[in-house]
Amino acid sequence: MNVLIIGGGVIALSVARELKKRGIKRVTILEKGALGREASFAAAGMLAPNAESNGTGRFYEFCAASNRLFPALADELLEETGVNIELDLTGTLFVGATDEDEAEIDERYSVQKNAGINVARLTGREVRELEKNVSGDIRKGLLYPDDGQVENRKLVAALRSSAELNNIIIRENKCVERLIIEDGVITGAVSREEVFYADRVIVATGAWAELIPTDGKWAAFSLRPVRGQMIGFEAGDFSFSHVIYSPRGYIVPRADRHVIAGATMEDAGFKAEVTPEGIDLVKKAACEIAPVLRTAIMNESWAGLRPFVSDGLPVIGEFPGYKNAFIATGHFRNGILLSPITGKVLADLVLTGKTEIDITAFRLERFSAATAGQN
Ligand SMILES: Cc1cc2nc3c(=O)[nH]c(=O)nc-3n(C[C@H](O)[C@H](O)[C@H](O)COP(=O)(O)OP(=O)(O)OC[C@H]3O[C@@H](n4cnc5c(N)ncnc54)[C@H](O)[C@@H]3O)c2cc1C
């Protein structure tokens, strides 16, 4: 079988790897720019199914299941490619310094605890016992022991290296302009210079929606970019051992002790650029969590585009109405976390036409007029 994957982010790379592992002979990735340089590069790499949850439900279970795949994935990638993706499951903190923050923490704790999420409540002093460099103003916190992070740029590098070692064909600077549709069957894709035919086609183009043939059928479906600006601080005379969120931002300490901080949530079209206001906002939130960062050297800033679908959930499954075509996008704030499970689902669908993982909530069909009418 010959499979074509359009888009070259963490989702496409994860799907390609899983397909190859399961014996697909020819897998080709077409990427309009450089592999893994859009959202997958810009991300913070947090694995936060619990810290980002507002209760349980299908999306939570999907995220938690994907989180559980990371230890084996990290070991496999290290053995296969020599790249350490720096998986760290030390846990994530959520901290608050104001009356409103305390109310938010209480609310989160009660909703999440009732839903069976593994979360512990901490006093300000207990937070500082875990992280001596957080602000003395922190009054309360939550600890999510099952959450953590990976170095997402290393994850992308490892997946690329794995793809190269396993003869996955990577074509960069190949912008797909349209899909080839013959009698309701998607048989390939066309770039400006070349035509690519395949037995199966997967669209994994992140925030770019042009290739999704909605045919006016999925009225409520829309996919748009939500910009996030981030900054990085050089390693200094400080260290942190957890990812630390507040209601206004987060800091993520990397293995080499440099710290990154994020992120804005902006409707800015396809402008993946930083702005002075965005950087100020992110820096302020980071310094509020950890005042030591005020004197740290900020040596990097960047922005990326999260793929956001109108109901906030990813779109994963077959293209309804067409044969041999699949879609995997809309991973919004959780695409790094969801990359391993998305790879498995897509490989199941391509190889067997079904998957044991329940993706009903993520199929494009949820936007059909009939379904929308029922909800
Ligand atoms: C600031 C920020 C922080 C984030 N933090 C986290 C986090 O901590 N944890 C987490 O889990 N997630 C996080 N995310 C979300 C995560 O980065 C995304 O959900 C994930 O990277 C999406 O992966 P993707 O492969 O779908 O998209 P992308 O990485 O954007 O890849 C899509 C690719 O498709 C290519 N493409 C588009 N159109 C075409 C075409 N016509 N032809 C060929 N190629 C095309 C693009 O060039 C791009 O490379 C963050 C995102 C941002 C922006």
Which amino acid is located at 205 in the chain?
Answer: T
Which pLDDT belongs to residue 214?
75
pLDDT at 65 over 80: yes
Q: Quote the CA–CA distance of 30 and 203 in Å, as a whole number.
A: 10
Q: State whether CATH 3.50.50.60 applies to domain 2-80+152-216+311-374.
A: yes
The reply to whether ligand 1 has any atom less than 6 angstroms from the CB of 339 is no
Substitution site in 302, 306, 316 for ligand 1 pocket (most atoms within 8 Å of beta carbon): 306
Contact 22, 351 (CB under 8 A): yes
The reply to whether ligand 1 has any atom less than 6 angstroms from the CB of 135 is no
Distance 220 CA to ligand 1 centre (A): 22
The reply to whether ligand 1 has any atom less than 6 angstroms from the CB of 77 is no
The reply to whether ligand 1 has any atom less than 6 angstroms from the CB of 46 is yes
| Residue owning the nearest CA to atom 38 of ligand 1 | 205
Q: Quote the CA–CA distance of 13 and 303 in Å, as a whole number.
A: 21
Which tokens go with 116? 């069976």
| Residue owning the nearest CA to atom 2 of ligand 1 | 43
| Residue owning the nearest CA to atom 16 of ligand 1 | 335
In the chain, ranges of CATH 3.30.9.10 domains: 92-145+223-306
Angle at 43 between CA 213 and CA 78, to 5 degrees: 105
CA dihedral 66, 68, 71, 72 (to 10 degrees): -80
Q: Quote the CA–CA distance of 49 and 97 in Å, as a whole number.
A: 23
325 beta partners: 201
Contact 202, 347 (CB under 8 A): no
In percent, how much of the chain has pLDDT > 90? 92
> How high is the mean pLDDT of the chain?
95
- 47-73: average pLDDT: 94
In the chain, ranges of CATH 3.50.50.60 domains: 2-80+152-216+311-374
Which CATH architecture does the domain made up of 92-145+223-306 adopt? 2-Layer Sandwich (3.30)
The reply to whether ligand 1 has any atom less than 6 angstroms from the CB of 252 is no
Substitution site in 18, 28, 29, 31 for ligand 1 pocket (most atoms within 8 Å of beta carbon): 31
CA dihedral 233, 234, 237, 241 (to 10 degrees): 60
The reply to whether ligand 1 has any atom less than 6 angstroms from the CB of 327 is no
Which tokens go with 172? 């960069």
| Parallel, antiparallel or unpaired: strands 46-47 and 223-233 | unpaired
| Parallel, antiparallel or unpaired: strands 176-182 and 185-191 | antiparallel
Return the closest-CA partner of residue 358 out of 54, 65, 70, 53.
Answer: 65
253 beta partners: 259
The reply to whether ligand 1 has any atom less than 6 angstroms from the CB of 268 is no
Return the closest-CA partner of residue 231 out of 304, 157, 337.
Answer: 304
Instruction: Tell me the per-residue pLDDT of 93-148, one tens digit each, with 9 for 90 and over.
Output: 999 999 999 999 999 999 999 999 999 999 999 999 999 999 999 999 999 999 99
Which pLDDT belongs to residue 374?
42
pTM above 0.85?
Answer: yes
Which tokens go with 334? 């959780």
Confidence of residue 339 (pLDDT cuts 50, 70, 90): very high
Q: Quote the CA–CA distance of 293 and 76 in Å, as a whole number.
A: 35
Which pLDDT belongs to residue 195?
98
- 145-173: average pLDDT: 98
Q: What is the CB-side half-sphere exposure of residue 319 using CA atoms within 13 A?
A: 23
pLDDT at 256 over 50: yes
Per this entry, what is the length of the chain? 375
Which tokens go with 199? 């037995």
Which pLDDT belongs to residue 370?
54
Distance 38 CA to ligand 1 centre (A): 5
Q: What is the CB-side half-sphere exposure of residue 49 using CA atoms within 13 A?
A: 25
Which tokens go with 35? 């592999």
The reply to whether ligand 1 has any atom less than 6 angstroms from the CB of 309 is no
What is the radius of gyration, based on Cα positions, of the chain?
Answer: 21
The reply to whether ligand 1 has any atom less than 6 angstroms from the CB of 344 is no
Which tokens go with 120? 């512990």
